Structure 1
Amino acid sequence: MVTHLDGPSLARLRLAISPASEVTSWLRAALSRFGHPVHGDPGPAARAALRHPDVALVAELVTPPGGLGYTPDLLTPKPPLGPLDAAFEQQLAATAATPADEVAVQVNERFPTGGIPARIRTSVEDGTLARRVTNGLRHFWRAALAEQWPAVRTTLEAELAVRATTMATTGVGSMLNSLHPKVGWTGSSLTIDSSYRIITALTGAELVLAPSALAWPQVSTQLCDEGNAVLVYPVGAGPAEPRRADRLGDLVGASRAAILADLDVPRSTGQLSERHRLAPATVSYHLGVLLRSGLVVRTRDRHSVLYRRSDHGDGLVGCRGRQEPTRSAIRRNTAWVGDPGSGT
């Protein structure tokens, strides 16, 4: 996929947190029998919320876990300008206000070969789908994500700070190239390595880059509508930062040091292979050495084997106090209290 950006569009590019994207990603994880690839099982409250009739409508609209396809943009409106505490309610208001004809267009794009589920077809025909989807997103947020939102928000705000620093010190092009291995910047166009062969153009439009703690490992795009242009990228999926490993290179070797420095979040052999452009067998060898040395720990999450630095490995790298939400924090699911925009 290629998206051309003119000068005014590049000038309007901004970074923002999208609560709607996070809740949609967490709902998709709840639909998967394997859970989330990093955070595991979303928990009983999330699964129970899927039985709510309006949440069930949302569940039928999202792309199935592990599948390809289009998820209607009305579920993930562009993050608004202004305070983050008000962002989710503003996004929900935008979802509810989606015109009926646009709702129908997006539903048809979601089911291009027909076979629209009966309850979705009925809601489109009677003009209630946008309102019911809004209610479903709000209900799932309250049941499954609101209590954990402060931890997720902390991770996302830290990511925004890193990207803003990169943009300020090395330029917008360097920042775009660092987002994800499948995202690149040519100097005039944003390229996304995907199964879609689409060429679009943004002319004087605002493009929002939204980091996600819960969309791992996918990049998702909304680049065909200039008024709702968003690129969602997973936190921690960009090229590894070699500077943290430089001082370890002489001790454990450059490649092994880079892998160790990259394990501040759980990663699989395949993910590390892609991020460091090493053969999977080479990564497995290095992980074996690090594991036997006590510098990493290994856990099994359903069918995935994930590696992460141990406390000893943290000490060697010089990292203390991780900013991302812990798996246990993400998995706690209790009743929502307080304002859904702030999660308090």
Structure 2
Amino acid sequence: MGRHGNTLRIHFETDDLARTRILDKPDPLWETLLSLHLLQGSAGQPVFGEWRSRVRRSLDRSAGLLFALAPPRGYSVDFLTPGAGAGDLESGLDDVLGTPRSLLAADLTELAAARPLPSWAPSLAAGELDILHELGDAIRRYFSVAIRPHWPAIVSQARADRLQRGEIVVDGGVEALLSTLHPMVRWQSPALEIDYPVDQDLHLGGRGLLLVPSLFCWQSPVTLLDAARQPVLVYPIDRRPGWFAGGAPVQGVTALLGRTRAAVLDAICAKPLLSTTEVAAELGISLAGASQHATVLRDSGLIVTDRAGGAARHRPTTFGSALLTVSA
């Protein structure tokens, strides 16, 4: 039972476990929606406070349209996140602006049950082109201010999370992945139970579940209300105060760590599970030097070292990957 006495139950059939996968990077529209929730409140101030202040100073009036559709609490319209994995913002926007009128009307009716809607809501429910174009422009403007400057850092941290969860799948299978997804998640075969603001059931029915990593997802994983749409579960990834600095250019990391140590971190981020010997060979440094640099990086929380087959193999932590930008 959840924090509010409520639970989201995702019901799996045999085929659903085989069809469950993790998206290879965050979804731009989900990051847009969830960041809008955070922007309108004060949750996670140590992590999001500076980002929140910067974004609030930079927004224009078009953001008001988005705030109306994505309030900080309760239901947000599903059509803002029509799917996941479109690849880029424009592909996702094509899906948003192509939402059938019946779904626009249904989502806005659901939203209207909880709060008054602005005067333009009937025009949006009817799929009128002018308001749809205004919506598309508002999302683009918001994304350019709130998300795009930090996208490399967001992608970097999500990829580090995916790497770590991939190791869990290799060692324990999909059920182990689901069991360790988040502290508020419990695998009670054949259902995944999640502490949630409302009681909700999602029957996958053989469609599988797409797990979507998110930097802006706060406290609890989230899904769509409409069970007929693509089954997704968006879950929080690790992030630290100052995460928005994770997109700093490599030169900045070199100044911070020193040229050789930054190169060691870069090599481990590019090829996780490199052994110390392989790091030394790749960079043309001594084995003792590679070992010393790896020790410093490990003690700083930038890499983790595992023993496999008698060799020390290194992989980046979420913070280590975030510090060294990975191209989107």
TM-score by length of 2: 0.66
Structure 1: gaps (5+ residues): 237-263, 267-313, 330-341
The residue that corresponds to 2:12 in the other structure is 5
Q: Report matched runs for 1:1-344 at 5 Å.
A: 1-16=8-23, 17-32=26-41, 36-42=45-51, 46-48=55-57, 50-53=59-62, 55-64=63-72, 67=73, 69-80=74-85, 86-113=87-114, 115-125=116-126, 127-128=128-129, 129-222=131-224, 224-236=226-238, 265=240, 319-320=301-302, 323-324=318-319
How many percent identity over aligned positions? 26
Give the AA of the match of 1:190. L
Cα deviations by residue, 1:198-237 (Å, 9 ceiling, x for unpaired): 223111214211111122223211264343211111113x
Give the AA of the match of 2:88. A
Residues 104, 226 of structure 1: CA spacing in aligned structure 2 closer, same or farther, 3 A cutoff? closer
Does the aligned pair in 2 maintain the 1:75–1:133 contact within 8 Å? no
Task: Using the TM superposition, give the Cα deviation of residue 41 of structure 1 relative to its aligned residue in structure 2, in angstroms.
Answer: 2.9
CA distance in 2, matches of 1:327, 1:231: 23
Give the AA of the match of 1:75. L
Residues 223, 118 of structure 1: CA spacing in aligned structure 2 closer, same or farther, 3 A cutoff? closer
Does the aligned pair in 1 maintain the 2:59–2:145 contact within 8 Å? no
SS at match of 2:197: coil
Cα deviations by residue, 1:304-338 (Å, 9 ceiling, x for unpaired): xxxxxxxxxx9895623664499999xxxxxxxxx
Task: Using the TM superposition, give the Cα deviation of residue 136 of structure 1 relative to its aligned residue in structure 2, in angstroms.
Answer: 1.8
Task: Using the TM superposition, give the Cα deviation of residue 100 of structure 1 relative to its aligned residue in structure 2, in angstroms.
Answer: 1.4
Does the aligned pair in 1 maintain the 2:302–2:320 contact within 8 Å? no
Q: Comparing 221-230 with 104-113, which one deviates more in the overlay?
A: 221-230
Task: Using the TM superposition, give the Cα deviation of residue 138 of structure 1 relative to its aligned residue in structure 2, in angstroms.
Answer: 1.6
Cα deviations by residue, 1:269-321 (Å, 9 ceiling, x for unpaired): xxxxxxxxxxxxxxxxxxxxxxxxxxxxxxxxxxxxxxxxxxxxx98956236
Cα deviations by residue, 1:33-58 (Å, 9 ceiling, x for unpaired): 567551313256622554332x3211
CA distance in 1, matches of 2:100, 2:58: 27
Give the AA of the match of 1:171. G
Q: What is the aligned-residue RMSD (CA, Å)?
A: 3.1
Residues 14, 315 of structure 1: CA spacing in aligned structure 2 closer, same or farther, 3 A cutoff? closer
How many residue pairs get aligned? The number is 249
SS at match of 1:220: coil
Residues 171, 42 of structure 1: CA spacing in aligned structure 2 closer, same or farther, 3 A cutoff? same
SS at match of 1:38: helix
Does the aligned pair in 1 maintain the 2:157–2:322 contact within 8 Å? no
SS at match of 2:198: coil
Structure 2: gaps (5+ residues): 1-7, 242-295, 304-316
Does the aligned pair in 1 maintain the 2:157–2:321 contact within 8 Å? no
